[in-house]
Amino acid sequence: MAAEKSDATSVKEFVISRAFDAPRDLVWKAFTEADQMKQWWGPKGAVILYCKLDLRPGGTFHYRMRFAGQEMWGKMVYREIDPPKRIHFVNSFSDEQGGVTRHPLAPTWPIQMLTTITFDEQGGRTTFTVRWIPLDPTDEERKTFEAGFGSMQNGWNGTFDQLAAYLAKC
């Protein structure tokens, strides 16, 4: 994981990558098809109970997840899609109807996150990189985000572990 200063906002950007023993097209489909996302999305131990995916600019991925005994909703609103290389979206917690909500367990977590995911292939291996930064955060949200890098690293590593296990079965 690397943290970099964002020129535009002075918020440190969270960046994490993992290389997978799978071709880019397979990893891309695992991240862009609802039936596949249900199999691995979320931190280790998470279960996706519902998801609907509309992969287009302005489309959404809306899901309900159970994690650590808590049920929560999340949403991605796609801004840019460059198959099979890059996806740029706004990520947030949501309610059942898809309205944006606060994190159910962290009231000072940023309401929305700008997320860019890239898929780089070399020699049949794909590096999946996540770049995360709060969208228009308050000072308190910025501090909460930057203080949470260790937790985010753990969460994303658990998600990557689940993706690796899923890809190994494909």
118-149: pLDDT as tens digits: 999 999 999 999 999 999 999 999 999 999 99
Quick one: which of 116, 90, 98, 147 has its CA closest to 15? 116
For 138, phi then psi, to 5°, come to -75, 170
Q: How far apart are alpha carbons 91 and 82 in whole angstroms?
A: 18
Segments forming the whole domain that contains residue 158: 2-169
What pLDDT sits at residue 9? 52
Q: How far apart are alpha carbons 82 and 8 in whole angstroms?
A: 23
Mind listing the pLDDT tens digit of every residue in the chain (170 residues)?
A: 443 333 445 899 999 999 999 999 999 999 999 999 999 999 989 999 999 999 999 999 999 999 888 999 999 999 999 999 999 999 999 999 999 999 998 999 999 999 999 999 999 999 999 999 999 999 999 999 999 999 999 999 999 999 999 999 99
CATH (domain of 154): 3.30.530.20
What pLDDT sits at residue 126? 98
What pLDDT sits at residue 2? 40
CB of 100 closer than 8 Å to CB of 92 = yes
pTM of the model: 0.91
State the total domains in the chain: 1
Structure tokens at 43: 């931190």
What pLDDT sits at residue 135? 96
